[in-house]
């Protein structure tokens, strides 16, 4: 136990002098260390000095002081009554104020405050409108320069066509539709022309179309 | 210094007196003054070191207690509550610049003072040297107390000198019991150094 701890122990015992456990610890530690013995003696003398060195206030005529207090309380109550009376006697303000003018002042103050609020709102709305217009213009420009999907023959791209698993020859002439899936990139596509030749029913001048085969 | 808190043989306790005061009976409060004026003045005196200041604080404390009696939550706790007012007023006391209250008529004359002297007090010694030494010691102790921080000064006065229970001191100072112990310990250490020449 160091000096600070011992001093705290001694103070704890001085706080509760009836505690035998604290007293035993204090005495045991003092017996083991001459420095603690000196400290214990010093603390006890100090405690005694503090109590006896400050006696209760003397020289007070307590009965007269009690009367003095009673008079002070009476004065305090009387002062409250006087104050209440003075407050009740104050001139009412109704006759002292030009109420229409006062109302006008208040309205003006409110209007001024509202006008400034309206101006701020209008400015804010203008900013919002301008911002929206800019966004719309940007959107228009963006969409204008975007390429159209599927425009013009010959443009390179990918065409996806669904292919039926059945051979085309097995398809009924007038039924079904044939699809083809093209999974490779197709370069420029040349247009193809298809002709159909109707069966010849009578001999006659050749059909102009037959000359093309 | 014992104060009455419980009814014995028809003597009203503090709670009864408080209730009677609130009911309009001013005489009941005068009885409370009689019970607590000495302790209140003693605490104020030990905190302020000046008897005149202590009487002024004591008067103000009782006036405030009377005005705010209806705010006292537990009427049986009038004593600690009133001491709390005294302590706070003492710690915040500033001498008024204007005309001060006079308590001259509340002080004993030299003859009355000789009759009142308590046998155990150092001042009861007839030897002038002893009285002077005791007076110097008292002044020195007051100087040491005045140099302490407010909470430590109040804790030391209320607990070590007035010997109030720690729990009551904690209520008066509005802190924990542990805080009271700590304030007392710190105050004692500083006062021991201050009074080293007397030890």
Q: Are residues B94 and B17 in the same domain?
A: yes
Yes or no, beta carbons of B63 and A56 under 8 Å apart: no
Q: For residue B5, is it within any domain?
A: no
Q: How confident is the model at residue B197 (pLDDT cuts 50, 70, 90)?
A: confident
**Nearest CB neighbour to A68, from listed B103, B140, B184:** B103
Yes or no, beta carbons of B121 and A55 under 8 Å apart: yes
Q: Looking at the complex, report in whole angstroms how far the Cα of residue A7 sits from the nearest Cα belonging to chain B.
A: 9
Q: Are residues B17 and B88 in the same domain?
A: yes
Chain B residues with CB under 8 Å of A70 CB are 30, 33
* Residue B90 contacts residue B44 (beta carbons within 8 Å): yes
User: What is d(CA A26, CA A20) in angstroms, rounded to the nearest whole number?
Assistant: 10
Q: Are residues B44 and B96 in the same domain?
A: yes
Q: Are residues B75 and B29 in the same domain?
A: yes
* Residue A65 contacts residue B103 (beta carbons within 8 Å): yes
Q: Pick the residue with more confidence: A19 or A94?
A: A19
Yes or no, beta carbons of A73 and B29 under 8 Å apart: yes
CA count, 13 A, side-chain hemisphere, B22: 15
* Residue B159 contacts residue A15 (beta carbons within 8 Å): yes
pLDDT in tens, A155-191: 555 555 555 555 555 555 555 555 555 555 555 556 5
pTM to 2 decimal places: 0.61
Yes or no, beta carbons of B59 and A55 under 8 Å apart: no
Q: What average pLDDT does this structure show over A61-70?
A: 88
Q: Are residues B70 and B138 in the same domain?
A: no
pLDDT (0 to 100) of residue A21: 94
Could you tell me which residues are beta bridge partners of residue B11?
Answer: B8
Yes or no, beta carbons of A76 and B63 under 8 Å apart: yes
Q: Are residues B178 and B138 in the same domain?
A: yes
pLDDT (0 to 100) of residue A145: 76
Q: For residue B78, is it within any domain?
A: yes
Number of Cβ within 10 Å of residue A201's Cβ equals 6
**Residue that is written with structure tokens 């004692």 in the block:** B188
Alpha helices in B23-77, H assignment, sequence order: 26-48, 51-67
Instruction: Using alpha carbons, select from B75, B102, B174, B38 the residue that is nearest to residue A56.
Output: B38
pLDDT in tens, A25-35: 999 999 999 99
| CATH number of residue B24's parent domain | 1.10.1740.10
Instruction: Mark which of B86, B102, B118 sits at the end of a domain.
Output: B102
Chain A residues with CB under 8 Å of B67 CB are 76
ipTM of the complex: 0.76
Q: What average pLDDT does this structure show over B55-71?
A: 92
pLDDT (0 to 100) of residue A41: 92
Q: How confident is the model at residue A78 (pLDDT cuts 50, 70, 90)?
A: confident
Q: Which range is least confidently modeled, A10-24, A50-64, A139-153, B180-194?
A: A139-153
Q: Pick the residue with more confidence: B8 or A154?
A: B8
- Record the tokens describing residue B157, joined without a space: 């006065």
Q: For residue B112, is it within any domain?
A: no
pLDDT (0 to 100) of residue A30: 93
Identify the helix (H) or strand (E) that includes residue B78: helix B78-91
Q: How many contacts does A have with B, using Cβ atoms within 8 A?
A: 124
Q: Pick the residue with more confidence: B3 or A18?
A: A18
Q: Are residues B64 and B132 in the same domain?
A: no
Yes or no, beta carbons of A15 and B161 under 8 Å apart: no
* Residue B47 contacts residue B85 (beta carbons within 8 Å): no
- Record the tokens describing residue A51, joined without a space: 């109590």
The DSSP line for A92-150 is PGGGG--HHHHHHHHHHHHHHHHHHHHHHHHHHHHHHHHHHHHHHHHHHHHHHTSPPTT
Q: Which range is least confidently modeled, A61-75, A106-120, A183-197?
A: A183-197
Yes or no, beta carbons of A68 and B105 under 8 Å apart: yes
Chain B residues with CB under 8 Å of A50 CB are 141, 156, 160-161, 188, 191, 195
pLDDT in tens, B5-14: 555 567 889 9
DSSP letter (8 states) at residue B96 = -
Q: Pick the residue with more confidence: A103 or B145?
A: B145
Q: Which of A76-80, A86-90, B179-183 has the highest mean pLDDT?
A: B179-183
The interaxial angle of helices B26-48 and B128-146, nearest 10 deg, is 90
pLDDT (0 to 100) of residue A93: 72
Q: What average pLDDT does this structure show over B64-92?
A: 93
Q: What average pLDDT does this structure show over A86-112?
A: 77
Q: For residue B4, is it within any domain?
A: no
pLDDT (0 to 100) of residue B74: 92
Phi, psi of B8 (to 5 degrees): -130, 125
Q: Are residues B27 and B62 in the same domain?
A: yes
Yes or no, beta carbons of B55 and A58 under 8 Å apart: no
Q: For residue B153, is it within any domain?
A: yes
Q: What average pLDDT does this structure show over A118-144?
A: 85
Q: How confident is the prediction for chain B on average, in pLDDT?
A: 84
Q: Which of B48-52, B77-81, B121-125 has the highest mean pLDDT?
A: B77-81
Chain A residues with CB under 8 Å of B27 CB are none
Is the predicted pLDDT of residue A208 greater than 50, yes or no? no
| CATH number of residue B159's parent domain | 1.10.10.10
Is the predicted pLDDT of residue A140 greater than 80, yes or no? yes
Q: For residue B111, is it within any domain?
A: no
Mutate to test the interface with B, among A61, A79, A80 (most CBs of B within 10 A): A61
Is the predicted pLDDT of residue B90 greater than 90, yes or no? yes
Q: Are residues B20 and B77 in the same domain?
A: yes
Q: For residue B49, is it within any domain?
A: yes
Q: Are residues B18 and B96 in the same domain?
A: yes
Q: Are residues B32 and B96 in the same domain?
A: yes
Range of the domain at B47: 12-102
pLDDT (0 to 100) of residue A33: 92
Q: What average pLDDT does this structure show over A80-94?
A: 71
Q: Are residues B47 and B85 in the same domain?
A: yes
Query: Domain tally for chain B?
Result: 2
Q: For residue B144, is it within any domain?
A: yes
Yes or no, beta carbons of A58 and B116 under 8 Å apart: yes
Q: What percent of chain A has pLDDT over 90?
A: 18
């Amino acid at each position: 136990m160091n000096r600070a701890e011992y001093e705290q122990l001694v103070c704890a015992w001085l706080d509760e002098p009836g505690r035998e456990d604290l007293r035993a610890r204090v005495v045991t530690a003092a017996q083991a260390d001459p420095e603690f013995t000196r400290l214990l003696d010093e603390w006890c003398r100090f405690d005694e000095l503090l109590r006896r060195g400050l006696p209760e206030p003397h020289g007070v005529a307590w009965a007269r002081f009690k009367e003095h207090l009673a008079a002070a309380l009476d004065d305090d109550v009387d002062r409250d009554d006087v104050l209440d009376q003075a407050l009740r006697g104050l001139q009412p303000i109704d006759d002292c104020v030009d109420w229409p003018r006062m109302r006008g002042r208040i309205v003006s103050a409110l209007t001024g405050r509202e006008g400034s609020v309206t101006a701020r709102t209008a400015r804010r709305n203008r900013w919002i409108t301008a911002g929206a217009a800019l966004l719309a213009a940007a959107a228009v420009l963006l969409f204008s320069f975007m390429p159209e999907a599927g425009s013009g023959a010959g443009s390179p791209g990918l065409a996806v066509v669904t292919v039926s698993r059945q051979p085309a020859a097995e398809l009924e002439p007038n039924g079904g539709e044939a699809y083809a899936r093209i999974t490779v990139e197709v370069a420029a596509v040349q247009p193809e022309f298809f002709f159909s030749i109707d069966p010849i029913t009578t001999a006659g001048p050749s059909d102009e179309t037959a000359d093309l085969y | 210094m014992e104060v009455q808190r419980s009814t014995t043989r028809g003597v009203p306790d503090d709670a009864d007196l408080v209730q009677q005061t609130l009911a309009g009976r001013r005489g009941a409060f005068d009885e409370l003054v009689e019970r607590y004026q000495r302790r209140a003045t003693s605490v104020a005196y030990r905190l302020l070191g000046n008897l005149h200041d202590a009487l002024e604080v004591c008067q103000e404390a009782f006036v405030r207690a009377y005005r705010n009696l209806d705010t006292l939550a537990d009427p049986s706790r009038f004593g600690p509550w009133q001491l709390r007012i005294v302590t706070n007023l003492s710690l915040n006391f500033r001498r008024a610049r204007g005309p001060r209250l006079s308590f001259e008529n509340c002080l004993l004359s030299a003859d009355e003072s000789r009759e009142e002297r308590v046998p155990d007090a150092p001042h009861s010694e007839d030897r002038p040297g002893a009285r002077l030494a005791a007076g110097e010691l008292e002044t020195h102790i007051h100087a040491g107390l005045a140099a302490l921080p407010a909470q430590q000064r109040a804790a030391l006065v209320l607990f070590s000198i007035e010997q109030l229970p720690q729990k009551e001191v904690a209520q008066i100072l509005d802190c924990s019991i542990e805080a009271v112990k700590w304030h007392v310990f710190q105050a004692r250490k500083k006062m021991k150094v201050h009074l080293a020449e007397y030890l």
